[in-house]
Amino acid sequence: MMNSITPTWFEKVYIAADTQGSSIPWANLGPSPDLVEWLDEQGIDGTGQTAVVVGCGLGDDAEELARRGFAVVAFDIAPTAVKMCQARFPHSAVQYQVADLFAPPEVWHGRFDFVLEYFNIQALPPDVQPRAMTAMAELVAPGGTMLVINLGCDHRNGHPGPPWPLVKSELVSFSNAGLREVAFEEYDEQVDAPVRRFRIEYKAVATVAGKRPKTKPAEYLGDMAEAFAAFQAAYPAFATTQILDEVRQREYGRLDAQDHVYLDYTGGTLYGECQLRAHWALLDSGIYGNPHSHNLASAAATALIEQTRAHVLGFFKASPQEYAVIFTANATGALKLVGEAYPFSGDGRYTLIFDNHNSVNGIREFARAGGATIAYLPLLPPELRVDEQEVMLALALARPGQNNLFAYPAQSNFSGVQHPLAWIAAAQERGWDVLLDASAFVPTNCLDLSQWQPDFVAISFYKMFGYPTGIGCLLARKKALAKLKRPWFAGGTIALSSVVADAYHLADDEAAFEDGTVNYLGIPAVEAGLKFLSSLGMETIHQRISCLTAWLLRQLQLARHSNGMPLAVIYGPTAMERRGGTIAFNLYDPYGNLFDYRRVEELANGARISLRAGCFCNPGSAEISGGLTRTDMAPAFHHGTWVTHREFITSLRQKNGKSSGAARISVGLVSNFADVYRFMQFVHSFQDRAVDDLGEVEVESVNCRIMAQ
């Protein structure tokens, strides 16, 4: 959601205040003690010097600087605040005026000998703070001083805001803007409880000519060549992935031939032409029949299936003595196999996290039917991670000797968050079987099952290499597989069955779980896909995704409207630590109104950009990121009422401006800089446009299908 701290919000606070402003939370009604103490310690005399007070509030700090001889300009974005200053100090020498830090008068650049920043940055969301630091730094004259006083913290966790205290490492934005740190103080202010504060003195670096060059805006994108040069300088490791550019030209020429920017790799990776050639050559040279026989054609097909099964084990470094490969239609089919056959009971538990695909959420219905206790672990915004302590507390609830299943994704298909693989062993040590949804993780990361040994792993191969579709697998530890009790039997799954005896014996290996005839012509193409990935190198793919995603995250955070309001809000981590190449976001207009993500997708189509919009079959993450409550969701399910998706999201927006989903981009093995640059150009096309400018949504989503209006 768009943060509530906006220019309009500040104005409303001042309008609602009493005449003296005593009800304003940040009003001291006197000069700030932190400022006065510093001025006294330094023996500051401002005679003949200029000063500016950023976000002057009720003007007390500006008056203190004027009392010490400075010629002071004090500005605030809230007109009522400026009027209150003028009313409080009618004979003041301070020049009070309304101004926007992100669009100040041109003459202010490099003008002031002293710049005071007191408690403004912390009122801005973390993604806005770097831009604010840059804008403030540009006000300082060559050789001038900036004093910054704000709340401080070690990390963002535990500070949902507002306020958002400053993290010391992020103060680098001041240095990047040409300021040199002179002194850094960290101390606790005793209010109701100790509150940490930072007080930092900076000096502006002057050139030989005694001037400070005007920097480009932080969100400046530049032309393609300029942007790529800056990208390469910022991410030098990208050069080590050049082989993927060559592969794109050779195997994916259709992308550039059709001027198509594909950014939906989490939805499905594109296939290389060599995969098709290899598969066609195999089919063209052999005769393959239904493997449930011993004839020549059946035996040939069986040999290819078993060869592919062995290759899957090898790719994931899974011991054939430890793991079995069960071919399914997709990851959902693999998850359903576990859900329907897991021996849930009244003494057991099914624990999962909010950040799960619906195919994992759906297993709760099997758990509920078996009488098991179902528990969800919540996500913590804004990063949408799970509190590690909460996980350990939940895992401690397993009853020894009972059937307990813990399910989570290695990587979120919504936000790109990578949840710790270390949870696997921690859960198993406490008596849990672990179901790992690896569908979004394995396309760009190495999953080493000799190191991490979940009991069940669900995979869709089209997510990894695009072709073939309709084939996935369940990688299952054999001792865990023996625990499953299938609710039925089918062709291909039995060693013996009888109608007369009304009895059956299931096969004693993975065949017991491969219902009917497997896709015996498609499965051999899986081996070709795995060989293709191996030839490129998973580490190379991972490196490219990391560089491109880091650049996208940075650019989305920097994108602004002319009034300084953010264009995009990112759901999930805004840095690359423990995250993948999937980014969920929403776009907002200059007034903080949400652009309908469905309309954003439609406009992207017009720009020949394939992205995705919705909740991505991950309602838990969408609901947490959108701030949705049970009350918000009730109209969709109240007394069995059935509403359309359009009706539901329209109602949400009209009632409280909330969103039930987002837009999503994801980069993959042959994404290049031109792709992400084109996407950011598309994002900038929303700059200074209002929601009403975009027109109405033209298509409707129905049951994961897209229906024309």
Q: What is the largest CA-CA distance in the chain?
A: 107
Of 56, 274, 617, 704, the catalytic one is 617
Provide the CA 144 distance to its chain's centre, in angstroms: 39
State yes or no: is 615 an active-site residue: no
Q: How far apart are CA 480 and CA 341, in angstroms?
A: 11
Provide the CA 647 distance to its chain's centre, in angstroms: 27
Q: How many CA atoms lie within 13 A of 646 on its CB side?
A: 12
> How many angstroms separate the first and last alpha carbons of the chain?
28
DSSP assignments along 17-83, one per residue: S-TT-TTSTT--SS--HHHHHHHHHHT---TT-EEEEES-TTSHHHHHHHHTT-EEEEEES-HHHHH
Tokens 């652009």 found at: 595
- Class of residue 664 by CB neighbours under 10 A (exposed 0-12, middle 13-18, buried 19+): buried
Question: What stretch of H or E contains 576?
Answer: none
Q: What are phi and psi of 25, to 5 degrees?
A: -55, -35
**Residue 405: which of 352, 476, 468 has the closest Cα?**
352
Q: How far apart are CA 169 and CA 120, in angstroms?
A: 18
Question: Quick check: 602 and 702 in contact, CB under 8 A?
Answer: no
Q: What is residue 465's three-state secondary structure?
A: helix
Question: Quick check: 563 and 7 in contact, CB under 8 A?
Answer: yes
**Residue 445: which of 419, 425, 481, 466 has the closest Cα?**
419
Tokens 């200074």 found at: 688
Question: Quick check: 252 and 272 in contact, CB under 8 A?
Answer: yes
Bridge partners (DSSP) of residue 203 are 145, 180
Contacts of 508 (CB under 8 A, 6+ apart): 495
Question: Quick check: 448 and 316 in contact, CB under 8 A?
Answer: yes
Which tokens hold the place of 338?
């576990």
- Indicate which residues carry an active-site annotation: 617
